[in-house]
Structure 1
Amino acid sequence: MPRNFLYHEIAGRIAAQIRNGTLKAGDRLPSVRMLCQEHGIGMNTAKRIFLELEAQSLIESKPQSGYFVHKLLYLKLPLPEVSRPSPTAHCKEPDGLISRVYANMGNEKLTLFSIGAPSGDLLPFPKLKKELVLATRALKEGGTAYEPLPGNTKLRRMMAARSLAWGGHLTEDDLVTTSGGMNALSFCLMALGKPGDTVAIESPCYPGILQLAVSLGLKVLELPTHPTTGIEIDALMKAIPKIDICLLVPNFNTPLGSCMPEEHKKAVVTLLAKHGIPLIEDDVYGDLYFGGQRPPCCKSFDETGTVLWCSSVSKTLAPGYRVGWVAPGKYKAQILKLKLVHALSSTSVVQEAVGNFLSTGRYDHHLRRLRATLQSNYQNYVHTIAEYFPDGTKTSRPQGGLALWVEFPKRIDTTELYDFAIRQRISIAPGRMFTLQHQFEHCMRLCIGLPWSEDIRFKLKKLGNLAKMM
């Protein structure tokens, strides 16, 4: 096994032992020399493992003493339970609740823990504004003409080049641009399914995916999902006879923030390909990893063209630009036909500007700062939750992304909590939004994409006090 993969695998095993409680706060880890002897690795590889674990705030170094499991308060908070959705439940969309919560979008008078996007304060607006001006100058007719149906060439070329970071080998011809990530998912579901077909998803799941599937007349099968490793493979295997499509967010999904291990991704791709079931992979959060290495995508294991890889810059760079794309594999002709009918052309100037931004290296610089901020925010959130939320509260432990899943004791109804909180100008996303079944009523999602401040800490404290009074 190559050394870079070996270091990542060993670091992952140690991280898992810390997260599941096998290694407890304050426990001493093996020395660098001992780690070398146990795994047959060199000193540099062993040091890299410890650096990776430090980057995730799981361990700390004490001079003259070695490495220890970090005594962080949040590690005392238990993980949420593995979800157990019913395989036969009737689907009921919580559209009224979703509409109420998302009606707050853009309301500057509220603290929006409910909207899963990075705050504008964390985005490089001045540099993007400059790129828009340059794009207008560079494009033929100032970007007013229609562009080729597959989309902006520069943007597709840059995304193909970046696919190497997650194990992909895409070319610009493999990609089709879209108006954001949801537009890409919409094209994929329309290309693959028809009313009455069944799509398998994680549970809990992003509300927009649920609404989209229901609007297309698809049946939704929610799969049991672990808060750190994603869907349970055994459950997917049992569901195979019932499903026509699978749609997953393998890297840092919302609301759990779970990340499927590499071997799970490979197993899912192999299983679905064997049965001829296409996989739509939503990788919109993949660049927001907290560790030292971007996780691979399911698409990197695709040998049959049945994985449709979708992503966008909506969660990393510019939510309002609506710039997305899909690598649809063997379904490219169907996707292009749908784009021709529903959109004809993408927005030339905006896609050119994003393509330019990606080509200069400024995007990677921005991502490094954003990832560091999100990881720090996560730690600040859970410290505050551990201090002020009711006894028995559980939280997810995302390894990236924008979401933190909070599970209260079952006596607390988060739809009611939403009503109390909104009067205090705090908006949350109640757990019932993330399912079509009657579950997660005692859970909520918090967005960690707001700049940390004393005011954010105060609002979380107030939220905890409101929950305690319920």
Structure 2
Amino acid sequence: MKLYEQFAEEIAELIRVGTLQAGEKIPSVRYASRTHNISAATVFQAYYLLERRGLIEARPRSGYIVRSHANGVLVEPEQSNLAHLPQETVATDVDVSELVFSVLDSMKDPSTIPLGSAFPSPTLFPLQRLSRSMTKALRETPAQAVVADMTSGNATLRRQIMLRAMSTGNKYTAEELVITNGALEALNLCLQTLTQPGDLVAIESPAFYASLQVLERLKLKAVEIPVHPRDGIDLHILEESLTRLSIKACWIMSTFQNPLGASMSDEKKEKLCELSARYQLPIIEDDVYAELYFGLQPPKPLKSFDKNDLVMYCSSFSKSLAPGYRIGWIAGGKFAKQIHRLQLMTTISPSLPAQAAIADYLQHGGYDRHLRKLRETLEAQQQKLMLAIERYFPTDVRVTKPKGGYFLWIELPHDVDSLQLFRLALAQGISIAPGPIFSASQSFKNCIRLNYGNIWDAKIEESLKLLGKLINSFQHVS
């Protein structure tokens, strides 16, 4: 990271944590240059970068100030977001696929503004460079590797994954690493290893809709545990549920949870691992957004706090590098052998050329450089989406403020039906993700998830303006 990028990140962190408030001046170029012992040119570069990211703006005769939407104008959801859940958790049969598929099928038109999409724009990924890596990998792959790597995975890829894991204290051995067809296969394999039809699984509420579909397919019952929009799953309710119900596993996103964007603190992650050990509860950690953090320090995964080998860590390159390559992995701990055997009985192996291509890119393609640019772009687009919401949506909406990923969760006024809003917006060529698809009980009826992972342009700006009008129309009707 260059010197101006480091300085820019220091200022950005002060804004994120609220030390520098909206409307406040940041240090002048002259003062910053003198106190940090850096050139004025370096300070200017840093401030230009912060401008592009939407965190500060230049004002005549005032210097640079923190933009109004950068750290505090929009109100975050609180416990009211969880009011639909019963006082005592219950096991729920999952039947959401028809609703989920009806929503997803309606988004296939390429002309639709993809605010409801589950992926960032493909233009944010180094697809041409990956293509060169694919060509190189195919040319250089030894003939024997076509068979040898089928059951164990590409050796270079495995080594690169473990090296990156070490940077966050997420140490695991080659023996417990299983390469999979994306994170979804990883999560499926973990659940199938731990459960039988009819078993109970603790999941977050709201939860990523694919987790609900997996439970439905495997005929498992969901025990919905509320997630706070800022700091993640409610450990008190989880423990209370464990005392009453025979829960076989817990599926959780501890960092940049989809759809809320919530991230657990290190202290809370440690407490969850202690809870897991006390009740011998296996945890499936879905950590696909880990590389998309805003700031200098990567978040530590739950697995790095696991002292009892009960966390099965799942991730992939789909959200950070190569969506269509479908390469994920599991660090399965003591369950790794069972997971690997189950994979050999089903898919056997993910694509060997795709593994080799990503391995080559990780070695030679500048992955960290790509990630820095991707994170900066996503943070800037988050700021633009927040500003649009501030401009066009009702003043009483509540919006999450995640420190990574590419989703915002929006709690709308209570008289707004998000499924009806979804249909109205789609008729105008705008997709959104309505709240009920993220719940086993199809709750969160006045909530939506919006994706800020698409390159901001006039069409997106206009779509947010129109969406605001549609939301306001519910209040006029009532």
TM-score normalised according to structure 2 size:
0.85
Q: 1:346, 1:254 → 2: CA distance?
A: 25
Q: 2:70, 2:176 → 1: CA distance?
A: 46
Decide whether aligned partners of structure 1 residues 75 and 165 sit closer, same or farther in structure 2, where only a CA change above 3 A counts: same
8 Å Cα contact 2:55/2:380 also seen in 1 = no
8 Å Cα contact 1:128/1:353 also seen in 2 = yes
Q: 2:162, 2:292 → 1: CA distance?
A: 18
Shift of 1:98: 0.8
Q: Residue 78 in 1 paired to residue 75 in 2?
A: yes
Alignment of 1:342-361 (within 5 A): 342-360=346-364
The aligned amino acid for 1:80 is: P
The alignment covers a number of residue pairs equal to 442
8 Å Cα contact 1:161/1:170 also seen in 2 = no
Q: Residue 267 in 1 paired to residue 258 in 2?
A: no
The aligned amino acid for 2:198 is: G
Helix, strand or coil for the counterpart of 1:351? helix
Q: 1:80, 1:126 → 2: CA distance?
A: 40
Alignment of 1:37-436 (within 5 A): 71-72=68-69, 75-82=72-79, 83-84=82-83, 85-86=85-86, 87-88=89-90, 90-104=92-106, 106-141=108-143, 145=147, 147-241=149-243, 242=245, 243-360=247-364, 362-436=366-440
Helix, strand or coil for the counterpart of 1:182? helix
Q: Residue 443 in 1 paired to residue 450 in 2?
A: no
Q: 1:306, 1:112 → 2: CA distance?
A: 37
Helix, strand or coil for the counterpart of 1:437? coil
Q: Please list every run of 5 or more consecutive structure 1 residues that lacks an aligned counterpart in the other structure.
A: 1-7, 31-42, 45-50
Decide whether aligned partners of structure 1 residues 58 and 278 sit closer, same or farther in structure 2, where only a CA change above 3 A counts: farther
Q: 1:78, 1:374 → 2: CA distance?
A: 21
8 Å Cα contact 1:101/1:114 also seen in 2 = no
Q: 2:91, 2:308 → 1: CA distance?
A: 33
Q: 1:28, 1:356 → 2: CA distance?
A: 45
8 Å Cα contact 1:116/1:449 also seen in 2 = no
Which stretch of the first structure deviates more once superposed, 86-95 or 234-243? 86-95
Shift of 1:135: 1.1
Q: Please list every run of 5 or more consecutive structure 2 residues that lacks an aligned counterpart in the other structure.
A: 1-8, 28-35, 38-45
Shift of 1:29: 10
8 Å Cα contact 1:421/1:427 also seen in 2 = yes
Decide whether aligned partners of structure 1 residues 401 and 142 sit closer, same or farther in structure 2, where only a CA change above 3 A counts: farther
Equivalence for 2:43: none
Decide whether aligned partners of structure 1 residues 13 and 121 sit closer, same or farther in structure 2, where only a CA change above 3 A counts: closer
Q: 1:160, 1:60 → 2: CA distance?
A: 41
Helix, strand or coil for the counterpart of 2:414? coil
Shift of 1:204: 0.7
Shift of 1:74: 6.6
Q: Identity of aligned pairs, percent? A: 38
State the Cα deviation string for residues 172-216 of structure 1 (Å, max 9, x = none).
333110000000000000001112221112111100001101211
TM-score normalised according to structure 1 size:
0.86
Shift of 1:58: 7.3
Shift of 1:27: 6.8
8 Å Cα contact 1:227/1:256 also seen in 2 = yes
8 Å Cα contact 2:92/2:223 also seen in 1 = no
